[in-house]
Amino acid sequence: MHTLHTIAQVRAAVARAREEGKRIGLVPTMGNLHAGHIALVEKALQRTDYVVVSIFVNPLQFGPSEDLDAYPRTLAEDQSKLLDVGAQLVFAPNVGEMYPEGMAGHTRVSVPVVSEGLCGASRPGHFEGVATVVSKLLNIVQPDLAIFGEKDYQQLAVIRKMVLDLCLPVQIMGEPTVRADDGLALSSRNGYLTPAERQVAPLLYQTLQAIAAEVSAGRRDYAQIIEEARGRLTEAGLRPDYLDLRDAHTLQPVSAQAEELVVLAAAFLGRTRLIDNLRFIPAL
Ligand code: PAF
C-alpha cells in the first residue's frame, strides 16, 4: 500500500492500475478511521480491484465555530488499519494541494433543495463544502465506484444528486451505519465524549428506534411523536438540534405516498454534536 500526497502522483498511480484493467474504488474519509470506515473499505475491496482511500480534513465544510482545529488527525494509525484491511492506495493531500489558491475564490458545487434543512440548516455552507471536495476527489481519482456511510444520510443524498445532475460517471453506494454494542453510531467525533456522556449517548439511537416503532405501530400524529421524543432527549441532558421524520427517498416531509421513512436526528451532548438516522417501512 502506498500513501501519496499530490494529485499528480495519484492520477499516475490510478492510470497505471487502470492500464492493468483494474476497476477503481474510492472511499473518501476525513481520517481517524473506525470500524465504520473499514466496513466501507471492505465493501470497496469486494466490488473493485484497486481501492483508494482519501484522508483529508476538508476545511471548506467546517463552519467558523466548528471543530476544524480539534478534529482528530491520526494518519499513522489510519495507514496501519488500511494496510491491514488491504487497501491499495491512501491519498492524503494537505490543504494547499486541494486549495492551492486558498478557499475564498475557489469554485463551489452547490446542491439546492436536498442540502436545505436538517444539517444544512444548522451548518450553513457545510454541504457546499462537502459537494465541492467530493467532486474534486471524484475528478482526481475517477473511480468506477465511490462508497459513503449512511450515518451521514443527508450527505449521501446530496452526493447522489450531485452525481446525477452533473452526469459524473461513477456509481455511488451507501453502506449501513456501523454501531457500538449499545447502538451508538460509530463516529470520529465520539472521541470527544466524556465517559459520563458516552453512557447517555446511545439514547439518541434508542429514541429513533422508539419513533420508528410508534409509526410502524400505526401512530400518525408525527408532530406529537417528535415532540415527546425531543422531551425525552432533553430530560436526559441532550440538546436536540433537529429531530425529524422524512421520506427516505426524497428527504422531503412525509406524504401519504412515502413507502419508506427515515427519522433523522442531530443533538449536542456536551460539546459533541451527534447525528444518526433510522430508515423504516411504515405500517399501511
Ligand atoms: O463524511 C466525511 O467524512 C466527509 O464529509 C467526506 C465525504 C470525506 C468529505 O470531506
Ligand 1: lining residues by beta carbon, under 6 Å: 28-30, 58, 61, 130, 133-134, 152, 155
> How remote is the CA of residue 58 from the centroid of ligand 1, in Å?
8
> How remote is the CA of residue 130 from the centroid of ligand 1, in Å?
6
pLDDT value, residue 257: 87
Q: Mean pLDDT throughout 16-36?
A: 98
Atom 6 of ligand 1, nearest CA residue: 29
Q: In what order do the strands lie in the sheet with 171-175?
A: 2-4, 89-91, 50-55, 24-29, 145-149, 171-175
Atom of ligand 1 nearest to the CA of 152: 1
Q: What does the chain come to in residues?
A: 284
pLDDT value, residue 127: 98
Task: Give the confidence band of 153 by pLDDT, cuts at 50, 70, 90.
Answer: very high
> How remote is the CA of residue 137 from the centroid of ligand 1, in Å?
11
Contacts of 34 (CB under 8 A, 6+ apart): 178, 186, 187, 188
Query: Could you tell me the CA-to-CA distances from 264 to 154, 187, 256 in Å, in that order?
Result: 9, 16, 19
Q: Where are the alpha helices (DSSP H) in the chain?
A: 7-19, 35-47, 75-85, 95-98, 119-122, 126-141, 153-165, 195-200, 203-216, 222-235
Q: Mean pLDDT throughout 48-69?
A: 98
Which residue type does 199 have? Q
Atom 3 of ligand 1, nearest CA residue: 29
Atom of ligand 1 nearest to the CA of 58: 10
Atom 8 of ligand 1, nearest CA residue: 29
Which of 155, 177, 189 is the best mutation target for the ligand 1 pocket, counting ligand atoms within 8 Å of the beta carbon and taking the most? 155
> How remote is the CA of residue 19 from the centroid of ligand 1, in Å?
28
Task: Give the confidence band of 188 by pLDDT, cuts at 50, 70, 90.
Answer: very high
Contacts of 266 (CB under 8 A, 6+ apart): 118, 119, 122, 240, 241, 242, 273, 274, 275
The 10s digit of each residue's pLDDT in 161-185 is 999 999 999 999 999 999 999 999 9
> How remote is the CA of residue 33 from the centroid of ligand 1, in Å?
12
pLDDT of 283 over the 80 cut: no
Atom of ligand 1 nearest to the CA of 188: 3
pLDDT value, residue 256: 85
The helices-and-strands tally (H runs, E runs) of the chain is 10, 9
Tell me which residues are annotated as active site: 37
Atom of ligand 1 nearest to the CA of 149: 1
Q: Mean pLDDT throughout 225-232?
A: 98
Q: What is the DSSP string of 29-51?
A: E-S---HHHHHHHHHHHHH-SEE
Which residue type does 156 have? L
- Residue pair 109/38 in contact by the 8 Å Cβ criterion: no
pLDDT value, residue 262: 98
